[in-house]
A and B are shown apart, each in its own frame.
Chain A
Amino acid sequence: MDSITTIAMISIIMAGFTTSIGIITPALSEGKAVAAAMSALAQQPDASSTITRTLFVGLAMIESTAIYCFVVSMILIFANPFWNHVIAAHK
Chain B
Amino acid sequence: MHLSSDEVVFWQRGFVTINLTLVTTWGLMLLMVGAAAWGTRHLKTGLHPARWQCALEIIVSGINTQIEQVGLPQPARYIGFIGTLFLFIALANFGIVLPYYQAPTGSLSTTVALALAVFIAVPAFSISQMGLRHYLKTYVQPTFIMLPFNLITDASRTLALAVRLFGNIMSGGLIVAILLSIAPLFFPVLMSLLGLLTGMVQAYIFAILATVYIAAAVTKTPADQPAPTAE
Contact = CB atoms under 8 A, between A and B. Distances in A.
Interface of A: 49-50, 53, 56-57, 60-61, 63-64, 67-68, 70-71, 74, 78-79
Contact of B167 (A49, A67, A78): A67
Interface stretch (B43-51, B92-100, B131-139, B201-209): B201-209
A56 B197 CA distance: 14
Nearest to B160: A64
B208 A64 contact: no
B contact residues, range: 10 to 19
Interface of B: 3, 69-70, 160, 163-164, 166-168, 170-171, 174, 201, 204-205, 208-209, 212
B5 to A, nearest CB: 14
A79 B69 contact: no
B177 to A, nearest CB: 12
B163 A68 contact: yes
Contacts, number: 40
Contacts of A67: 163-164, 167-168, 171
Contact of B201 (A49, A56, A79): A56
Q: Which 3 A-B pairs have the closest CB atoms?
A: A67-B167, A60-B205, A64-B164
Given A49-B69, A50-B69, A53-B70, A60 B163 contact: no
A53 B168 CA distance: 19
A74 B173 CA distance: 13
6 contacts: A56-B208, A60-B209, A64-B160, A70-B167, A71-B163, A79-B3
Nearest to A78: B3
Given A50-B69, A67-B168, A79-B3, A56 B163 contact: no
Contacts of B164: 60, 63-64, 67
Contacts of A61: 160
Given A50-B69, A64-B160, A70-B171, A57 B209 contact: yes
Contact of A71 (B167, B205, B212): B167
Contacts of B209: 57, 60
Given A57-B205, A64-B163, 8 more contacts: A56-B205, A61-B160, A71-B166, A74-B3, A74-B170, A74-B171, A74-B174, A79-B3
A49 B70 CA distance: 10
A56 B208 CA distance: 9
Contacts of A50: 69
A63 to B, nearest CB: 7
Contacts of B174: 74
A56 B204 contact: yes
Contacts of B204: 56
